Amino acid sequence: MGSSGMRSSGIDGPRLRHAGALAKQAVAEITVATRGRGFVDVTRAVRDAIGESGVAFGLATVFCRHTSASLTIQENADPDVTRDLLDALDHLAPRDAPYRHGAEGPDDMPAHIRTMLTDTSLAIPVVDGALALGTWQGIYLVEHRDRPHRRELVVVVQGA
């Protein structure tokens, strides 16, 4: 038992893989053409940005430049997951609620709420030149508007 009286079984680590100064940084811009409301897997585009950066160990930040679209890391194996998540967001921010802001259409204010409930930026470790995502994790842009849009992402990679 440790000094706090808690058992530490089941914990392995930490293992230091690399220690050094931040020597590299890169910025990439990714444009995503959405088809309207739904999830777009952008994992490959972000991986490509990491590969081009030359960073082996560090951190990638992905930022969405919009207030009616967002980012998330979710399961990439079963498409029912993203469908269920869209249904959940519809329940949390319904289109037919009496919103004050409606000048840009009935899907606009719910889109802002859905963005607030999700993320506009993600920070992902880079290890051995690759995103340190889990086996079933993918990076998704979530389009909250009904119609297609061109969305811009900025990827900043820093490390060594």
Q: Residue ranges of the domains in the chain?
A: 36-159
Return the CATH number of 36-159, one of 2.40.70.10, 2.60.120.280, 2.60.120.460, 1.25.40.10. Answer: 2.60.120.460
C-alpha span between 49 and 156 (Å, rounded)? 9
Closest CA to 63 of 121, 119, 112: 121
Between 2 and 15, the higher pLDDT residue: 15
CA distances from 70 to 10, 16, 57, 83, 142 (A): 35, 33, 26, 16, 5
Give the tens place of pLDDT for each residue, 111-142.
Answer: 999 999 999 999 999 999 999 999 999 999 99
* Mean pLDDT computed over 47-61: 97
Going by pLDDT thresholds of 50, 70 and 90, the confidence category of residue 23 is confident
Tell whether the model's pLDDT for residue 17 goes beyond 80.
no
Crossing angle of helices 108-117 and 79-92, in 10° steps, is 110
Taking the C-alpha atoms of residue 68 and residue 63, their distance in angstroms, rounded to an integer, is 13
**Environment class of 58 (CB within 10 Å of its CB; exposed 0-12, middle 13-18, buried 19+):** buried
The per-residue pLDDT for range 92-110, each reduced to its tens digit, is 999 999 999 989 999 999 9
Q: Find the length of the chain.
A: 160
